[in-house]
């Protein structure tokens, strides 16, 4: 038989206070998940370099690559290889290249960037970020 003296008696005020705390945690759980997602995305900035096989990169085409949850555009030309972050410089949404309009479009607040990554419309003030590229005989190392 269980000894009733081992249980702590809580009064009605304690019960309501603790109940509200649990209820508040349950209500805000989606928010914490969302914030956690943002933090994780921010940490991906420190992800290791992206390594590609040089021979597999097509010439003169914008290649979109997802790397640790972030979009990067890689372009190989006769002059070399360049890479650009596709994270909008306003609040970090992934921009999309619209070939027919020759712009990068951000779906979050309709920010636009020209083909060189310069902001042309909306809230972004800074250009899309260029990323360092190292090209070896067989590899392209980005970041």
Q: Which residues contact ligand FES by CB under 6 A?
A: 88, 90-91, 93, 106, 108-109, 111, 122-124
In whole angstroms, how close is the CB of 56 to ligand FES at the nearest point? Answer: 30
Closer CB to ligand FES, residue 123 or residue 127? 123
In whole angstroms, how close is the CB of 29 to ligand FES at the nearest point? Answer: 25
Rounded to whole angstroms, how far apart are CA atoms 142 and 74? 9
In whole angstroms, how close is the CB of 87 to ligand FES at the nearest point? Answer: 9
Closer CB to ligand FES, residue 28 or residue 120? 120
| Cα angle 49, 130, 136; round to 5 | 45
In whole angstroms, how close is the CB of 119 to ligand FES at the nearest point? Answer: 9
Closer CB to ligand FES, residue 57 or residue 108? 108
Residues in CB range of 74: below 8 A, 6 or more apart: 52, 57, 62, 63, 65, 81, 82, 83, 133, 140, 142
Tokens of 27: 């209500």
Closer CB to ligand FES, residue 57 or residue 122? 122
Q: Which residue has the tokens 């206070």?
A: 17
In whole angstroms, how close is the CB of 54 to ligand FES at the nearest point? Answer: 32
CB 78 within 8 A of CB 59: yes
CB 10 within 8 A of CB 19: no
Closer CB to ligand FES, residue 83 or residue 113? 113
């Amino acid at each position: 038989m269980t000894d009733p003296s081992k249980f702590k008696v809580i009064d009605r005020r304690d019960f309501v206070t603790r109940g509200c705390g649990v209820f508040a945690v349950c209500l805000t759980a989606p928010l914490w998940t969302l914030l956690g997602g943002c933090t994780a995305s921010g940490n991906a900035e420190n992800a290791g370099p992206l390594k590609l096989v040089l021979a597999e990169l097509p010439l003169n085409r914008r290649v979109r690559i997802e790397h640790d949850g972030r979009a990067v555009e890689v372009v190989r030309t006769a002059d070399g290889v360049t890479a650009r972050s596709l994270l909008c410089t306003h609040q970090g949404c992934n921009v999309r290249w619209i070939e027919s309009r020759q712009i990068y479009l951000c779906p979050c607040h309709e920010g636009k960037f020209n083909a060189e990554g310069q902001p042309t419309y909306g809230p972004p003030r800074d250009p899309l970020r260029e990323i360092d590229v190292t090209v070896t005989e067989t590899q392209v190392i980005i970041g």
